[in-house]
Structure 1
């Protein structure tokens, strides 16, 4: 049985700085947080941010990387597991989307409080047009492209344009879910709650899969109609 390695004092300090930065960045955004505030939250010296990370932007990058690496590994494992279980025909669209979303939703429900901060931070970055796209591409594009590869097999007649738009809508649904704004609470008169991530996990794969299939089928029908309308097609 493996024994957990005891962290050194330096490693503990570094993790405390990452946890504090994650929390404050999620609450106030990158530009609303100072290195001094992060150090104070971590009960540490501001000079240690420079020592361990180099600066605020490097610390921010490390905050993103720390959990992104975990998520990407787990998502890939879940996708590969569902592909193996499905056999030669491959997994369904619902199973692929569940493998993509489950690791995130499960950690939002059952993970440590830092996961809530992390997902809130991801929501902020996704909605930042000046630099959010570049940051998200850096950390998440490889795993997204791997899932799109699996979706192409499940939807062989679907053009990439429709797959990318469908993923765009999936990404938006996840960002809104993690924001937990309370909007659905008010709209539904308390019938639904934005904090009920389990309800989202139960519904999201089926809902999103239907959207993928509908856009792909609509595009295929439009292409077939254009082909019939071309001169000489009826000869």
Structure 2
């Protein structure tokens, strides 16, 4: 065997391992988004991927470790995108940011990720909604991955509303994130209530109106 072939072997092995891990993450993400942490086993994931469950036991101590790894995989990407959007908006707005501008930077960037990212990103959106509404351990994951970007948004909102009581800005964000998480969950409830007039998976329609709706709410709170 030539030296070139020898050096290529570990590289190909590493590539295969990376491909298998991506498959595992994609499948686990889909299953967790549908059934939650407690409705999925490592064996379920292994069976759907087509590998022996001992492979997952080798890489993950338990299914919560797999869940955390799945959640972390995309959390950094969406946080970085929103942080950049907020920084770019703040630089453009200077000393006169608006409520709408800050909310568009925060919300639209996130919604664009799910609109353009395909079903994998939409599964992650549903997973995020689950995590945000699981106080036992979900709050810790949200704190770990999203506090910096949320606090950046709030600092911009404070600049846009300098006379607004600080606690009302935090309450306003609380209501914003609640509406966003319900939207990302895609429960289908609005589809039934509206008789098909609205669709829970119509993220472009949500993007068009959510920031405007939330901005009006902030103004009402602060006026």
| TM beyond 0.5 | yes
Tell me how far apart the structure 2 counterparts of residues 44 and 149 of structure 1 sit (CA, whole Å): 47
Q: Do structure 1's residue 184 and structure 2's residue 163 form an aligned pair?
A: no
Alignment match of 1:42 (pick from 44, 49, 65): 49
Q: Do structure 1's residue 94 and structure 2's residue 100 form an aligned pair?
A: yes
Name the residue aligned to 1:11: 18
Runs of at least 4 residues off by over 6 Å = none
- Structure 2: any 5+ residue segments left out of the alignment? 1-10
Q: Do structure 1's residue 56 and structure 2's residue 66 form an aligned pair?
A: no
Tell me how far apart the structure 1 counterparts of residues 187 and 68 of structure 2 sit (CA, whole Å): 25
Tell me how far apart the structure 2 counterparts of residues 176 and 117 of structure 1 sit (CA, whole Å): 14
Name the residue aligned to 1:224: none
Q: Deviations over 1:164-216 (max 9, x none)?
A: 11111101111111122222222222222222111110000111011112111
Please say if residues 17 and 39 of structure 1, whose CA atoms lie closer than 8 Å, have aligned partners that are also in contact.
Answer: yes
Q: TM-score, with normalisation over the residues of structure 1?
A: 0.85
Name the residue aligned to 1:130: 136
Alignment match of 1:81 (pick from 47, 70, 88): 88
Alignment match of 1:66 (pick from 73, 76, 80): 73
Q: Do structure 1's residue 174 and structure 2's residue 190 form an aligned pair?
A: no
Q: Do structure 1's residue 107 and structure 2's residue 113 form an aligned pair?
A: yes
Name the residue aligned to 1:215: 221
- Report how many aligned residue pairs link the two structures: 212
The structure with the larger Rg is 1
Q: Return the structure number with greater helix share.
A: 2
